Chains A and B, each alone.
Chain A
């Protein structure tokens, strides 16, 4: 089995940078994914790290360190529309499903 831990809530101001951490316990997995979900909406894919290191997609970046069982999502130049829940997820080796963390609720304040 596997478990993922994320902070439950993070608050930041417009224009700032915020980092959402994810630690996991799993015997083996293919990669770490991040999803965004606005209230009442569908989870939307943000990024995927199969290898250690940083992946950058516009204002969002994601990092993975397999040796530390740790990853993070970095959001830059925060906008009000970034207020949402963010989930990390892994696919365990041998399984065809994603296991999600409990999510981090990000509140962006003016």
Chain B
């Protein structure tokens, strides 16, 4: 079975541009979460979606937005990119609505964004 897949794996943007990152969860998983991981730090929560509705949002500016589609895949959009947005963006899926009821998330390998 395929795991969580993310695209693109790497991308380079310049300040002020916009980026869209994509995620396909494990088949049967209805919950998708997005995390930002800066080099040398732990992942930081951005959004969680369940059944196409936003269920949680982290401490990120409104430049960050996301959505979940009927097939449970998801997109993360970041507008007006800043140098500080350079990071690894991780998508995670889980079976349950809570997403972390057993502390287990299934992560993709991430999209590495570099903002110049």
Contact = CB atoms under 8 A, between A and B. Distances in A.
Interface string B94-111: 000111111111111110
B15 interface: no
A100 B33 contact: no
Interface residues of B, number: 27
Given A43-B90, A91-B100, A98 B105 contact: yes
A26 to B, nearest CB: 14
Interface in A48-106: 48, 50, 87, 89, 91, 95-103
A87 B41 CA distance: 9
B84 interface: no
Given A87-B42, A102-B41, A97 B108 contact: no
Given A42-B4, A96-B33, 13 more contacts: A33-B103, A42-B109, A48-B102, A87-B43, A89-B42, A96-B48, A96-B99, A97-B33, A97-B45, A98-B43, A98-B45, A99-B45, A103-B42
Nearest to B31: A96
A40 B111 CA distance: 11
- Of A44, A95, A96, the most chain B CB neighbours within 10 A belong to A96
B100 A96 contact: yes
Interface of A: 30-33, 40-45, 48, 50, 87, 89, 91, 95-103
B104 A97 contact: no
A40 B10 CA distance: 11
Sort A-B residue pairs by CB-CB distance and give the 3 closest, nearest first: A100-B42, A33-B103, A48-B103
A32 B40 CA distance: 21
A43 B107 contact: yes
Nearest to B6: A42
B98 A45 contact: no
B106 A45 contact: yes
Interface string B1-40: 0001000000000000000000000000000010000001
Contact of A41 (B55, B98, B109): B109
B43 A33 contact: no
